[in-house]
Homo-oligomer: A and B are copies of this chain.
Amino acid sequence: MSTSPATYHHGNLHDALVVAGLRALEGQEGKAPSLRELARVVGVSPTAVYRHFPDKQALDAALAQEGLKLLAKEQQTAAAKAGGGSAGFAETGRTYVRFALAHPALFRLMFTQGHPVADSDRPDEARALLTAYTQALASNPERAETLALQAWSIAHGIAMLMLDGRIPTDDALIDRLLNTENLFS
């Protein structure tokens, strides 16, 4: 986010709303912020929002996109710190789940909201990172795609089940579940 406070009150409401939205999503668990609440926080009337977003859903989409950027960044630094390669790839998955647990409401929003992603426009950075790693690690392109989707599914499943309280949010458990070498004993 540019976070340019420049002229603020009269100025860039758009960014102010996104910032307020991200802040609110970090707040009390689970509850997604309402359009009116965000307008209140920013100090503006509810309908003013519609000058910058056609929908509540559009605002949510902006927040989700911001979340994806944030996730990709965390994954990249974590993978780099692990030295790349298969160790880096593994770190990517751990970071994915940890991100979900650290920002539950934002993570939910990133996937709950309408499915405009994976469309003609370029894929988000997180997904690009995923395909890059799998293509480097797999023997052939088709295996790479399968591996990518499988890895994504496992991480996403763990994240969701933990967020929904179906699985204890144990940090060691994350590692144990992500370690898929010889899945069958």
Taking beta carbons and an 8 Å cutoff, which residues of A are in contact with B?
A: 111-112, 115, 117-118, 137-140, 143, 146-147, 149-150, 152-158, 160-161, 164-167, 173, 176-177, 180-181, 183-185
Contact = CB atoms under 8 A, between A and B. Distances in A.
The 3 tightest CB contacts between A and B, nearest first, are: A115-B165, A157-B157, A153-B157
B158 A153 contact: yes
Contact of A165 (B118, B149, B165, B184): B118
A5 B161 CA distance: 37
13 contacts: A111-B160, A111-B166, A112-B164, A147-B185, A153-B153, A153-B167, A153-B177, A156-B156, A156-B157, A156-B160, A157-B157, A157-B158, A183-B183
A173 B148 CA distance: 13
Given A118-B165, A153-B158, A181-B183, 16 more contacts: A115-B165, A117-B166, A118-B166, A139-B185, A143-B185, A147-B183, A149-B173, A150-B154, A150-B183, A152-B157, A152-B167, A153-B154, A153-B177, A155-B157, A156-B160, A181-B184
A167 B111 CA distance: 12
Given A118-B165, A161-B153, A138 B183 contact: no
Contacts of A111: 160-161, 164, 166
- Which interface residue of A153, A173, A185 has the most chain B CB atoms within 10 A? A153
A8 to B, nearest CB: 35
A28 to B, nearest CB: 15
